[in-house]
A = this chain, B = another copy of it.
Amino acid sequence: MHIFLEKRCCSIHTGIINAKEFFMRIIDVLVVGGGASGLQAAITTKTTYPDKEVVLVRKEQQVLIPCGIPYIFGTLSDSSKDILPDKLLTSVGVEIVVDELIEIKVKEHQCVLASNEIIQYTKLILALGSIPTKPAWLKGADLENVFTIPKNKEYLDQVLVALSSLKEVMVIGAGFIGVEVSDELNKKGYKVTLLEIEKTILNRAFDDEFGVLAQEHLQERGVRVITGKGVSEIKGKNGKVSEVVLSTGELLKADAVILSMGYAPNTQVAKEAGIELNDFGFIKTCEYMRVLPCTIDIVAVGDCAEKRDFVTRKIDRTMLASTACAEARTAGMNLYSLSPCKPFTGTIAIYATAIGSHAFGTAGITEAKAMQENFSVICGSFTGMDTHPGNLEHSHKQMVKLIVASDCGMILGAEVYGGASTGELTNAIGFLIQNRVTVKQLLTMQIGTQPLLTGSPAAYPLVKAAEVIVKKMH
C-alpha cells in the first residue's frame, strides 16, 4: 500500500520517524495534528481498521496534555510532567512523523509537508487545533511579558522562565483557562489579578450563583478578581509590561499579562486549500465529521472542526478536549464505512474545574443561555452533602442545578458544585442529556449511593433538584 522513494530511518524505540529523508509516500490514512483529537482519531482509525496504514503528522516533538497545561504553572513542577505519551499511538501501530503541514492538495489527495515530503493519502483527518486569541485592537499586546497559553511546550517553557523573575501577573479573561492559570500562579506565590469583562467568572459555563461561588473561593485563596471590567490597553516601560488600563480608565500595575481571551480555530491551511469554513473560521462538517461539501475523504475533528450545540442546534464555538475526542472517535469509526447509528449529534459542553478542594461542573446549557435562546425552562436546585451522613471527615457540600424544558421535560443543562466526585457526577448528568432523558424519567432511575462516596439515597441532590422541578410543573 505504500511506496518509499527514499530509505526510511525509524527509531524503533519511540516510533518517531524523521520525515526529512523522504520525498514522496503513499499511505492509507493521514492524520494532521498531535493534540487530543488527532491522537484519538489515529487510535480509533487504526483499531477500527487494523489493515490500514495510519500516519500522524505533528509539529511538536512532545505534545502537552491539553487540559493539564494550567497545572504546569503550579501543581506540576514543570511541563515535562504533562506529556501525552507517544506509546498510546505507537503501541497500536500508528506511525508518528514530526513535520508541518504546509499545503493540502484536495483533488490530488496529497499533503505537502515543510520538509518537502509529499504524502499521498486515501483518507485525511484534519485535527489542526486552535491558537490563542490576541486581539488586534489591544494596544500593547506585543509588549515583552504579554503571554498567551498555546498548546506549545517550547513556548510555555519560555513563559515559565520569564515569569520566574516577575511578581505581579494580570490574567485577562476568566474562562476555565484563565481561572485555572490564576489559581495555579497564586499557589506558586505570584500576586495574581484576574480580570473579566462579564459580571461573573466562568460566565459561559455557569449561571451567576455558581460563578459568584467560584469567585469567592478564588478570592479566599488570594487571587484578586475584578469582574464587569475589560482591558483597554497594556502599557509598557522599556518595552516590557508595566501597567494595564481597564475599560474604566483605572490603571493597575503588572509585571506580566496572560491573555486568556479565547481561542480561534487553526484553519488557515484548510482555507487555502479551498475547504469551506463557517463564519467563525471552523471547518464545516457533517455529523460524521466529513468536511462539507466537497469530499468523503477528508474529515475534521477537534478545535478546528465546526460544532453544533446539542441543545440549541446552533453553530457553536465551544472547544473542549473531551468533545474533540468524541468527534475523533466518530470520525475514526466512520472513516471507511458509515454507520447510521454512530453520528456525532452535537456538542454538550461538559466541563469541570477545581479551585482547591472545591469543584464545579457543567453540562449542556445554562439557565441564562436558555432564556437568551427563548427556551421555556423550569430550573431546580438542591444543596445537600456528597457523603452521608454529611458529617464525615471529607464531606463537601454538593449543589446541583437542573435546567429542564417546561414542555417536554427534557434535561437541557446542569451545574454542579461539590468535592472530588463532581467531575464524574457531571459526566453522569451529561449521559442523561445525551440520552434525552426527561426529568420524570430521571425520578424513576436507579442511582447507587454509598456513605463515603455519594449523597444519601433520600437526599441525593440530583434527584432532589429533579423533584423541585416536577413539583413546579404541576
Contacts and interface: CB of A to CB of B under 8 A. Distances in A.
Interface of A: 36, 39-40, 43-44, 47-48, 50, 65-68, 70-71, 75-76, 81-84, 88, 320-326, 329-330, 333, 339, 341-345, 347-348, 350-354, 359, 361, 363, 388-389, 391-394, 419-428, 430-432, 434-435, 437-438, 440-441, 443-454, 456-460, 463, 467, 470-471, 474
**Most chain-B CB neighbours within 10 Å: which of A76, A329, A391, A447?**
A447
Given A440-B341, A445-B431, A446-B350, A76 B389 contact: yes
A237 B440 CA distance: 58
B431 A432 contact: yes
A342 B439 CA distance: 11
Contacts of A330: 443-444
B451 A71 contact: yes
B44 A322 contact: no
Given A350-B446, A425-B428, 18 more contacts: A47-B467, A67-B457, A75-B392, A75-B393, A76-B391, A322-B448, A326-B446, A333-B443, A341-B438, A351-B448, A352-B453, A354-B453, A394-B420, A421-B421, A424-B425, A424-B427, A431-B435, A434-B446
Contacts of A325: 447, 457-458, 460, 463
A456 B67 CA distance: 8
A325 B464 CA distance: 12
A450 B76 contact: no
Contacts of A323: 446
Contact of A88 (B344, B421, B453, B458): B458
A445 B343 CA distance: 10
A305 to B, nearest CB: 14
A20 to B, nearest CB: 28
Contacts of A326: 444-447
A68 B451 contact: yes
B425 A470 contact: no
Contacts of A84: 458
Given A68-B388, A339-B440, A444-B342, A422 B453 contact: yes
B448 A350 contact: yes
**Most chain-B CB neighbours within 10 Å: which of A320, A345, A394, A457?**
A457
B48 A470 contact: yes
Contacts of A70: 451
A354 B427 CA distance: 21
A458 B40 contact: yes
A341 B441 contact: yes
A462 to B, nearest CB: 9
Nearest to A355: B452
A426 B443 contact: no
A458 B354 contact: no
A449 B345 CA distance: 19
Nearest to A432: B431
Contacts of A83: 389
Contacts of A470: 47-48
